[in-house]
Amino acid sequence: MFAEKPTLKGERVTLRPAGPEHADGLIELISDPEVHRLTGSHGHVEPEHARRWYATRGEHTERLDLAIMADDDYVGEVVLNELDTDNLSCNLRIALVGARVFGKGYGTEAIGLVLGHAFGTTPLHRVKLAVYAFNERARHVYKKIGFVEEGVERDALRWDGEWHDAVLMSILRPEWQARWGSLA
């Protein structure tokens, strides 16, 4: 379903198929402590592993990894993964490189572009995600786009000795189309 790796252009950002040329940006992203907290990422990823990871993204037809570019600067990634072809469903995840790009609308536009692609050019019916309850900024963006809260995974993340819930959200094709039309 994701064999084609499109380039999607918006007003602020362009989404490009993630590749080795974006590895330095990914390394910046995974090195930011605030990004670790917001994504619940424990541990450290070696830069060489990140380079190998981005070098292979184009080979995977069951997922779509897109680099978020603003004025030719890597500012994050948006990914459709966990594809369930029987139920026409997948997961969405997004991460921005850190505070230097937060609050500029890059994430909102990137999500809109990738959902417009998913619901406009694939047969997908449902896109889901999980966001930690403390990440109010992200939850606000997801709700603004049209995601609906479905439930809570209690104590899904242990961070600095404290437990945090994960809020489960989704958006369905008819909800997207009613709000935004078939394409972003």
pLDDT at 49: 86
Residue 98 located in a structural domain: yes
pLDDT at 22: 94
Residue 3 located in a structural domain: no
pLDDT at 182: 56
Q: What is the CATH number of the domain that holds 34?
A: 3.40.630.30
Q: Taking the model in full, what pTM does it have?
A: 0.93
Residue 103 located in a structural domain: yes
Can you list the residues of the chain whose pLDDT is less than 50?
Answer: 184
Residue 53 located in a structural domain: yes
Residue 124 located in a structural domain: yes
Residue 29 located in a structural domain: yes
Mind listing the pLDDT tens digit for each residue in 54-84?
Answer: 899 989 999 999 999 999 999 999 999 999 9
Distance CA 25, CA 18 (A): 10
Q: How many domains does the chain have?
A: 1
pLDDT at 47: 84
Residue 2 located in a structural domain: no
Residue 136 located in a structural domain: yes
Its domain, for residue 143, covers 8-181
pLDDT at 184: 43
Distance CA 93, CA 81 (A): 8
- Residues 6 or more apart in contact with residue 59 via CB below 8 angstroms: none
